[in-house]
Homo-oligomer: A and B are copies of this chain.
């Protein structure tokens, strides 16, 4: 079957084994390299038609004000009966209250714009175990994000082939399974495919968390540091990305009938045990993850003629899998 990647390549001669693929590295990772995601961090959104979307909320200290609001909104069943209201191609899918008049539950607090970014020293204090960072040729090195703050020009320290600076940040990193971009003072979660952000009005509004969106195209990184990122879709992304595009301004649907109803949104920890999904991610300080990044940056399996020599932070999805 003609493909971009070979579904079932002919077996290689025994003396020349096929180099690993990102998928084969993930499939072969030992159980000890996987970490459970707490049920209290999983936001479960059930759309009409038995379509389930699962969002992992960002861990503290990132976006803590908004994720606190989101937990309250879910606990009060606020999203039940709301809808997906906007689908703009190569940009975002957005959901919330179409009337924009539904009262919010008690305890929803505004968050300051300063919280769009997180100081590096706060991250280092809160999360002393930092994810491994890959070198393209393989071996992982542990590195504290706080190191960034004391470097001069970080690009000069970047090894050949792994370009830590990109068009939007002085540094990119995967930290405890989350993509991060940073300057010398602060870090923020970049707008990669599947990341979830908080819709807002003009500054100084920062959004409450009631109106959410996810990225369905090329990473719109110009939104970084301008909107809060609060999590990422880890299952059911296809139920959002394949929705019919809206034909109104900014991809909003013109008629209510076009919207996709949201039946309910709950934290997994608030669901009955029999309905509670569970997930785990490949630990980003594991050798498996280092090998995975190396393979993403330099594909050497049979389909590829030329390894890229680098990888964009948004072309490096962290492996997540459902647990039975």
Chain A residues with CB under 8 Å of chain B are: 1-7, 9, 86-87, 89-92, 94, 96, 100, 113, 116, 155, 162-163, 165-168, 192-194, 197, 199-203, 207, 211, 213, 216-227, 237-238, 241-245, 249-250, 252, 296-297, 299, 302-312, 314-315, 317
A96 cross-chain contacts in B, Cβ below 8 A: 2
A250 cross-chain contacts in B, Cβ below 8 A: 3-5, 7
Question: Could you tell me if A2 and B194 are in contact, using CB atoms closer than 8 angstroms?
Answer: no
Taken together as a complex, chains A and B put the C-alpha atoms of A192 and B223 apart, in Å, by 19
A223 cross-chain contacts in B, Cβ below 8 A: 4
A192 cross-chain contacts in B, Cβ below 8 A: 218
A244 — nearest CB in chain B belongs to which residue? Answer: B242
CB-based closest 3 A-B pairs: A167-B310, A238-B245, A2-B199
A210 — nearest CB in chain B belongs to which residue? Answer: B2
Residue among B4, B165, B218, B238 making CB contact with A312, cutoff 8 Å: B218
Known: A2-B96, A100-B1, A237-B89. Is A221-B308 also a contact (CB below 8 A)? yes
Question: Could you tell me if B213 and A168 are in contact, using CB atoms closer than 8 angstroms?
Answer: no
Residue among B87, B213, B226, B238 making CB contact with A304, cutoff 8 Å: B226
Question: Could you tell me if A311 and B193 are in contact, using CB atoms closer than 8 angstroms?
Answer: no
14 interchain pairs, CB-CB under 8 A: A3-B86, A6-B201, A7-B252, A89-B237, A90-B237, A90-B241, A166-B312, A167-B310, A202-B303, A217-B241, A222-B304, A222-B311, A224-B308, A242-B245
